[in-house]
Structure 1
Amino acid sequence: MLKLKVKKIKISTGNVLVAVMNISDSQFYDLYNGDRIKIENSNGENITTFLDITNSDELVPKGTIGIFEDTTRHINIKQGESVTISAQKKPDSITFIKKKLAGKKLSYEEFYSIIKDISNNRLSDIEITYFVAACYTHELNDKETVDLTKAMINTGESLHFGHRLVLDKHCVGGVAGNRTTMMVVPIIAAAGYLMPKTSSRSITSAAGTADTVEVLCNVTFSIDQMKKVISKTNACLAWGGALKLAPSDDKIIKVESPISLDPTGQLLASILAKKKSVGANVLLIDIPVGRGAKIEDLSEAKALKSKFKNIAKKLGMKIKVVITDGSSPIGKGIGPALEARDVLWTLSNDPRGCKDLREKGMDLAIKLLKLAGESKAKKKVSELIESGKAYEKFIEIIRAQGGKEVHASDIKLGKNSLDIRASESGTITFIDNKFVNRVARIAGAPTDKEAGIYLHIRKGDIVSKGQKLFTIYSNSLEKMDYANEYVKKHFGIEIRSSDPLFNKV
């Protein structure tokens, strides 16, 4: 054990618990970068952190220990206070990660140990990455996937609604726009069923459901606040990242993203754990397939469908998996404000609404109600949309979450706009999801909620030379210029020329 004085460093490390030691002290006490140390104050309170080493005597002088803001939130320590430092052994979960790296099967208890340590910030990003890589290299079997799912559920909080039917849906992603959740939730709630929907923010798209809902109301709640919204409205549209439901999931996704690692077992566990955590027992999964989607191969989609059904059955969930067309964006707006506007127009039966968003949203709602045992699901959904009751329920949810009714046309968009026009006449044969998402993100979405693009055309439309294809919106002229340059170099809308001798891509 050694005694060092605290030097508070006013920098956040993103919930990773880190302390910094001067290299002179670390060499003297034989401590290394990445080691775990226990910091204990005079009252006996302690916390285990990762150790970083610095050569800078100015940042952390010899005889002191640098403590970042995230660590000081977990232990009561004062500037200049003398604390006791001791080396700690690696957690048992590291042994289990090594076991999976060697290609061996893990038990529920071993998964629980790993997931609990991830949830409690006891594993570094590098160690979590090894776990993800192990599951990617040595694919989880069904039993392991079920055990991982249960471990993710049991290390977080859960919602319980007794014996009531609790409905939920999930889309595996890859389609630009596609705000069907904001259509389905109010329809289901207006039909008298519970639908406590938690959604994600964008990782690589122009907007996640949570980003879009946040244009209209708050999405960040505690479990108790979420329960109050549900008790008032039968539903909610909350950001899952603010809740302690399967809390390890966001940390795992964070290390998967840089090289797009997405092991099938972890994908299934991630989705189903979050659904079980909100009490869902009736679940609809949407797998979009097609050119430009996240999943382009139909056989891959069918294999994933089969796995969803097998794992959900073992978890006691009633499930239906649908494979849908993912070859084009759904809706016209791409970006939080533009997508929120689409939803409001579509739910309120405004002629400016999106036919494809309406049709897909209604179809998913019908399938979900049928799964729940509703005998006249199609008639009920049509009545709820046509009568405006689904729209009224949506506004009720928005108000319960701290928002107010907003007219779609009053939603602010980026102050700068640029129209992109067709270079020749022909038929639209392809609109690339990745292209439109990328352009919208370059324009500023989703961080700038008013940025994005608005599509004036759909696949199959006949266009004339000079006709508007889409409009880019941004609050930054610099980003607008960058988006325009990207469009010129990577144009992702294919036009089959009306002249049979030519085809424009």
Structure 2
Amino acid sequence: MKLKIKDVNFLTGGPFVSIINKNDAQEIDLHPGDRILIKKNGKKVISVVDFSENHFIKRGEIGLFDEVLNNLGGKKGYVNINLAQRLKSLGYIKKKLEGKKLNKKEIFEIIKDINSNNLNEAELTYFVSGCYSHGLDMTEIEYLTESIVKVGHKLNLKRHPIVDKHSIGGIPGNRTTMVVVPIIASLGFTIPKTSSRAISSPAGTADTMEALANVSFEVRDIEKIVEKTNACMVWGGGVDLASADDKMIKVRNPLRLDPHGLLLASIMAKKKAVNASHVLIDIPLGNGAKIESLIEAVKLKRKFTELGKKLRIKIKVIITDGKQPIGNGVGPNLEAIDVLKVLMGDGPKDLMNKSIKMSTIILKMLKIKDAKKKVLDSLNSGKAYEKMKEIIKAQKGNIFRPEQLKYGKFRKDIHSTRNGKVKKIDNKDVSKIARMSGAPADKTAGIYLNKKLKDKVKKGELLFTVYSDSKKRLDYALEMIKERNPYIIS
């Protein structure tokens, strides 16, 4: 059937969708949710079809969403449509839901269709659910990782070694990447870091780096930045380095589904996409962290090590203390202030010490002698800070000093109501309060912590400060603090 294009001027944010008139649909026996093959000038797109029962889409027209139009390469003219064959990947998803193992070809077919937006959100959710309910063995995880890399873009850096690091997450602050990267790069090693934005936290590394510089670049631009500075700190979602994984993360997040198989493939695909030869994995362990059980942490460590061998990547996994936030700031600007202070020789000691430890481990992985001395020399001499400024400039930024970063114009100091010691700081509550205040969308919002675990506290002493650019958002955060103060003093 030949139909005239009508631009509906909407994005779906995911699957390819088109709309045709109900009478045209009946003529070729189409039903809502069917897939159609759309052809235009040699280009093809498979799209989920919906119907118009009014005059929005007239007979002889097809309403196309932006994603479809972009792939067909034109907003005017005519297209030919036919009923598309049933996707093979749907049968493979059903197979996983039944608890059966998938082979390399089957996993690739699923990932290819995810990447091409051929699967709708419900179908994608079924795949994630199958992986969650029945798990993935190490061979399936290997195939999944390789498939995610194969369908996405890759950095073409003609360098060796290439270093990378990753933290499993769940800890507020913990912005070690932004300290480790300039240290390692200042010592002459290549460390291209692609990071995520916050999904359910007050800031991802990309959000915090964005307080200082641009983080959205094309692949070739990232390669130029790395060639110039030995490093980058950019948003991975902006360059489709592992876009199939980003789509799965979107459906995993609402129910916080983090099956080990998908978590492993997600992380290692991003490392493989930058051609990393040596990777340090940080698993924070503690109440409120993503991993709360030592048994689970050790199991995950073993799986990372095994997957690294299969992918021919040298892996070192460390299990670190995740009982409280790392650093004092929680929220993009506040975390960036911590980072710059550490690089300038000041700043929170826990963030500094963890960054020194991780940088030292990376150098030892590379068989570098006097590793810790070299790391300390880089920090103390200002080489790491100068390298950070170089990276910021290369990423079109101009924020180099902590005092250039703004705090939210509304603030509230929270004081202790008793004498004692800090017994607990709840990671999840800290994150929720910081998000309630407006982070990460409001880069000036968040929490600044004045006390850490085991610190002595006097009645009336400052525990933390909440910042926001919105009085209403600050009030929301304060309401939550009344219900759930993240500090326990005893």
Matches within 5 A, 1:267-346: 267-346=263-342
Aligned to 2:315, what secondary structure does the other structure show? strand
Work out which of the residue numbers 45, 51, 68 in structure 2 matches 1:47. 45
How far residue 84 of structure 1 moved from its aligned partner, in angstroms, is 2.6
Measure, in 1, the Cα distance between the counterparts of 2:49 and 2:407.
45
The answer for the alignment partner of 2:443 in structure 1 is 449
How far residue 60 of structure 1 moved from its aligned partner, in angstroms, is 2.8
The answer for the alignment partner of 1:233 in structure 2 is 229
Measure, in 1, the Cα distance between the counterparts of 2:43 and 2:377.
60
Aligned to 2:406, what secondary structure does the other structure show? coil
In the alignment, residue 50 of structure 1 is paired with which amino acid? V
How far residue 62 of structure 1 moved from its aligned partner, in angstroms, is 4.3
Comparing 22-31 with 8-17, greater Cα deviation is found at 22-31
* 2:483 counterpart of 1:489: yes
How far residue 162 of structure 1 moved from its aligned partner, in angstroms, is 4.4
The answer for the alignment partner of 1:501 in structure 2 is none
Work out which of the residue numbers 169, 174, 190 in structure 2 matches 1:173. 169
How far residue 82 of structure 1 moved from its aligned partner, in angstroms, is 4.3
In the alignment, residue 379 of structure 1 is paired with which amino acid? K
Structure 1 gaps of 5+ residues are 497-505
* 2:390 counterpart of 1:380: no
The answer for the alignment partner of 1:7 in structure 2 is 6
Matches within 5 A, 1:468-483: 468-483=462-477
The answer for the alignment partner of 2:428 in structure 1 is 434
In the alignment, residue 18 of structure 2 is paired with which amino acid? A
In the alignment, residue 31 of structure 1 is paired with which amino acid? L
In structure 2, do the counterparts of structure 1 residues 425 and 320 end up closer, same or farther at CA, with 3 Å as the change threshold? same
Aligned to 2:71, what secondary structure does the other structure show? coil
Comparing 4-13 with 429-438, greater Cα deviation is found at 4-13
Measure, in 2, the Cα distance between the counterparts of 1:396 and 1:387.
16
In the alignment, residue 190 of structure 1 is paired with which amino acid? S
How far residue 406 of structure 1 moved from its aligned partner, in angstroms, is 2.5
How far residue 478 of structure 1 moved from its aligned partner, in angstroms, is 1.0
* Runs of 4 or more above 6 Å deviation: none
In structure 2, do the counterparts of structure 1 residues 155 and 417 end up closer, same or farther at CA, with 3 Å as the change threshold? same
Root mean square deviation of aligned Cα: 1.5
Measure, in 2, the Cα distance between the counterparts of 1:326 and 1:58.
58
The answer for the alignment partner of 1:459 in structure 2 is 453
How far residue 30 of structure 1 moved from its aligned partner, in angstroms, is 2.4
How far residue 54 of structure 1 moved from its aligned partner, in angstroms, is 3.9
In the alignment, residue 71 of structure 1 is paired with which amino acid? V
How far residue 409 of structure 1 moved from its aligned partner, in angstroms, is 1.5
* 2:353 counterpart of 1:355: no
TM-score (normalised: structure 2): 0.97
How far residue 248 of structure 1 moved from its aligned partner, in angstroms, is 0.6
How far residue 77 of structure 1 moved from its aligned partner, in angstroms, is 4.3
The answer for the alignment partner of 1:265 in structure 2 is 261
Measure, in 1, the Cα distance between the counterparts of 2:262 and 2:78.
43
How far residue 24 of structure 1 moved from its aligned partner, in angstroms, is 3.8
In the alignment, residue 178 of structure 1 is paired with which amino acid? N
In the alignment, residue 102 of structure 1 is paired with which amino acid? E
Work out which of the residue numbers 56, 61, 64 in structure 2 matches 1:64. 61
The answer for the alignment partner of 1:408 in structure 2 is 402
Deviation per CA, 1:20-59, whole angstroms, max 9, x where unpaired? Answer: 2333433443222221112234x4544221112344x143
In the alignment, residue 401 of structure 1 is paired with which amino acid? Q
How far residue 6 of structure 1 moved from its aligned partner, in angstroms, is 2.8
In structure 2, do the counterparts of structure 1 residues 93 and 63 end up closer, same or farther at CA, with 3 Å as the change threshold? same
Work out which of the residue numbers 194, 205, 212 in structure 2 matches 1:209. 205
User: Is this contact kept in 1: 2:155–2:273, CA < 8 A?
Assistant: yes
How far residue 63 of structure 1 moved from its aligned partner, in angstroms, is 4.1
The answer for the alignment partner of 2:35 in structure 1 is 36
Aligned to 1:420, what secondary structure does the other structure show? strand
Matches within 5 A, 1:132-171: 132-162=128-158, 164-171=160-167
Deviation per CA, 1:141-187, whole angstroms, max 9, x where unpaired? Answer: 11111111111111122234446111111000010000000010011
In the alignment, residue 70 of structure 1 is paired with which amino acid? E
Aligned to 1:52, what secondary structure does the other structure show? strand
Measure, in 2, the Cα distance between the counterparts of 1:47 and 1:161.
32
In the alignment, residue 360 of structure 2 is paired with which amino acid? I
How far residue 324 of structure 1 moved from its aligned partner, in angstroms, is 0.3
In the alignment, residue 486 of structure 1 is paired with which amino acid? M
Work out which of the residue numbers 396, 417, 434 in structure 1 matches 2:411. 417
Aligned to 1:73, what secondary structure does the other structure show? helix
Measure, in 2, the Cα distance between the counterparts of 1:51 and 1:260.
30
Deviation per CA, 1:413-462, whole angstroms, max 9, x where unpaired? Answer: 21111111212222111111111111111111101111111111111111
In the alignment, residue 382 of structure 2 is paired with which amino acid? G
How far residue 65 of structure 1 moved from its aligned partner, in angstroms, is 2.1
TM-score (normalised: structure 1): 0.94
Structure 2 gaps of 5+ residues are none
Measure, in 2, the Cα distance between the counterparts of 1:160 and 1:58.
50
Aligned to 1:74, what secondary structure does the other structure show? helix
Measure, in 2, the Cα distance between the counterparts of 1:25 and 1:170.
52
